[in-house]
Structure 1
Amino acid sequence: MLYASTGCFTITVAMGIWLAIFAARYKRPFSFLTPAHVGSAVAGAIFLVIALTNGDSRLMLNVALAVAITAFGVLMAFFRRRGAMIAPLYMCHILLAVMFYFSMVCFTIFPNFGLN
């Protein structure tokens, strides 16, 4: 399940980079991009929870990061619908997502990462 979760989050990262390029150019992204970003993140989170229920307790930090990333994403969408782009929200979302993704990759590639 960890490989499936990491694969979904890799797609999420690719879509997120694409969204960031549009935001940096002050252009509206393609209509499919945001739902694809959110959908792959939700699928990855489901696989993450399944891996967690299968006994991989190292992933608790990732669950906490995923909740924070989701909260910042929802806030970004809320303010974006009202016409505001608040840079600190974007930066927090991105920086937490980078930490989350690198942690996921380390847990996936190195099975003993985080074990004593």
Structure 2
Amino acid sequence: MGLFDKIGDKLSEKVKETVDRKIDEGIDRAVDKVTDTDELEDRIHEKMEERREAKEAAEAPRACPKCGKEVGDDPFCPECGARIEVEDAERKCPNCGNVTTGKFCSKCGTKL
């Protein structure tokens, strides 16, 4: 085997190693992107679930803490006259999740 054949073989070996390394790096980057995408998808599902729960809580009928009668949006119970306190969860906007004290969400304008 001549000198040029040895150089050619070494060069071919180095090229193969470089190509293999680049392929491995590409695979690693692709795996990282898939992992990042999975994490992002999980976070999106969590946020959607939080909003769904907030909306359900906001739409659920309120009950008087003393007699249990459904009171709707009334500040006093129509059955026993007890004052109905609004909890923080009931003041959370069903649309965006913002906690507010008014009749409308200060962030998105949704009527509470």
TM-score relative to the length of structure 2: 0.30
Q: TM-score, normalised by structure 1?
A: 0.29
Q: Which has the higher contact order (CA 8 A, sep 6+)?
A: 1
**Which has more helix, going by share of residues?**
1
